[in-house]
Structure 1
Amino acid sequence: MSTSYAAFRALPFLAQIELVWDEGHHLATRYEGPHTLVLYHMAGDFFVEMFYNHIDNVLQEQLRTFVSSALLAPYAASINLDDLTRP
């Protein structure tokens, strides 16, 4: 199932989390201060970053959703976007 960017953003936070875990394609993980940021690609052709506080070991109630490849720059060394275009 493919959820559009707009439909995803309209969902409540917990429903977004479930959808990312069920349907997201994990691309990369990076660390920024006390946060672990996990990047997923969604079938609706957008990206989601989930934020974990790795010091307290909790998922933050914060997601960043985007379609712009410019926001992928922090992950450039660890992802291959060609994998997303292959069947």
Structure 2
Amino acid sequence: MTSYCAFRALSFEQQLPILYAEGEFVANRYEEEDAVNLYRLPGGFFVELFYDQHENQVVRLRTFTSSQQLEDYTPYIDLSDLGL
């Protein structure tokens, strides 16, 4: 299990395989031209994966621990299902 601080210290290229191996997909949303997938990691944090559909590539990741950052997902998920 990778901790929040350890994950953030990694490069983008190192973060991706950990996200795919350890992350649990929670929901997705759209922001401008990007599809944004939300993952929950066992270390008690969340990662948003921003995917450019036109370029067919992951463009960035955003990590956070605050449940306030989940507000964009409330139309799609019940936060109580996440134990928050």
Amino acid of the structure 2 residue aligned with 1:72: L
Gaps of 5+ in 2: none
TM-score w.r.t. the length of structure 1 is 0.87
State the Cα RMSD in Å: 1.2
Kindly provide the amino acid, as one letter, of the partner of residue 51 in structure 1: F
Give the 3-state SS of the residue equivalent to 1:36 in structure 2. Answer: strand
CA deviation string 1:48-67 (max 9, x = no partner): 0011101221111x110000
TM-score between both structures, scaled by the size of structure 2: 0.90
Q: Are residue 49 (structure 1) and residue 48 (structure 2) matched?
A: yes
The partner residue of 2:66 within 46, 65, 68 is 68
Q: Secondary structure at the match of 1:20?
A: helix
State, as a whole percentage, how many aligned pairs show the same letter.
Answer: 46
CA distance in 1, matches of 2:3, 2:80: 21
Residue identity in the other structure for 2:64:
F
SS of equivalent to 1:59: strand
d(CA) in 2 for partners of 1:6, 1:57: 29
Quick one: distance in 2 between partners of 1:67 and 1:22? 19
Query: Gaps spanning 5+ residues in structure 1: where?
Result: none
SS in 2 for 1:64: strand
Q: Distance in 2 between matches of 1:40 and 1:80?
A: 15
Count of aligned pairs between the two proteins: 83
Q: Structure 2 counterpart of 1:53, which letter?
A: D
1:6-85 alignment runs, 5 A limit: 6-60=5-59, 62-85=60-83
